[in-house]
Amino acid sequence: MGDAMEHDEGLVRMLLHDQHPDLAELPLRPVPGGWDNQLFRLGEELAVRMPRTERAPGLLRKELRWLPDLAPLLPLPVPVPVRAGEPSARFPGTWTVARWVPGEPGDATPVTRGGHAAAVLAGFLRALHREAPADAPANADRGVPLQDFEAGFEEGFALLADHADPVAVRRVWEDALAAPGPQGPPVWLHGDLHPANVVVADGTLAGILDFGELCAGDPATDLSAAWLLLPDGAAEPFLDAYEKADRATVRRARGWALLRAAGLIAIGRAGDRGLPGGKPTWGPAGRAALARVLAHGAH
């Protein structure tokens, strides 16, 4: 399966006929967005997720293994898989049918009720951030020490410095690196909380998408969402409502937010230039997150 595959409705319909015939006649339409997986809405309550990168089938298998157990514990809707699509002669990878999470994509629809969204996000992460079992998946890019990303930060620094005071950016990064590491056991992490992986309704967060990076590790990774997802002024209410973040964790979270902002800005720039994999809506989200991190002040 090559990178950046695109699938048509005909293939999805045939796969449903082959493996889940009771769903095969429901209305089917492609939905914009997605990175590793291409999304098709199936009827009113379901979605088909079709892998389009080499790593995507493995991410879907991870969701199939763990998300049905975690979803009942979470206070927001998530795309819990309800059916598995097995590799076949027609298509070589795992695919899934999951619950449709209603709402508008967060990279295109702003959160306007910051206080409400702060409380909602804090409740979601309090519920998710429970001690993970010994066999929980690890992830080399999430929940690990920030020191693992020093080279990556230097690569992205120029992008951040284009949009903010370079001295202030480096001060936040160095402070995050100097913060003590997590004191408790690894906890469950979403691992990929950025605006394109949430949905918004009535001005607040209405659902969390894409658990392909689900893993165990340092909660600071997810707490970067305070600046990535929430509007100006909402980070402090979020951290107060979350209740479990000590000063060191917040310092590390700000470092994670810088890394994620740089990634969003890079993907947004690629989108502005019409390059493969680029998403123009991600640039403004990354620049806004960067500004919020720097405005928050060191803890």
- Per-residue pLDDT tens for 105-117? 999 999 999 999 9
What does the alpha-carbon distance between residue 116 and residue 96 come to, in Å, rounded to a whole number?
32
Integer Cα distance of 256 and 56 in angstroms: 23
Cα–Cα distance between 58 and 288 in angstroms, integer? 32
Tens of pLDDT, residue by residue over 181-205, are: 999 999 999 999 999 999 999 999 9
> First vs last Cα of the chain: how many Å apart?
46
The pLDDT assigned to 277 comes to 82
The DSSP result for 140-153, as a single string, is TTSSS-GGGGHHHH
pLDDT of residue 6: 80
Q: Is the pLDDT of residue 223 over 50?
A: yes
Average of per-residue pLDDT values in the chain: 94
| Entry pTM | 0.94
At 262-273, the pLDDT tens digits run: 999 999 999 999
CA distances 74 to 89, 135, 142, Å, are 37, 20, 20
For residue 33, count other CB atoms closer than 10 A to its CB.
17
Which amino acid is residue 41, in one-letter code? R
Confidence of residue 206 (pLDDT cuts 50, 70, 90): very high
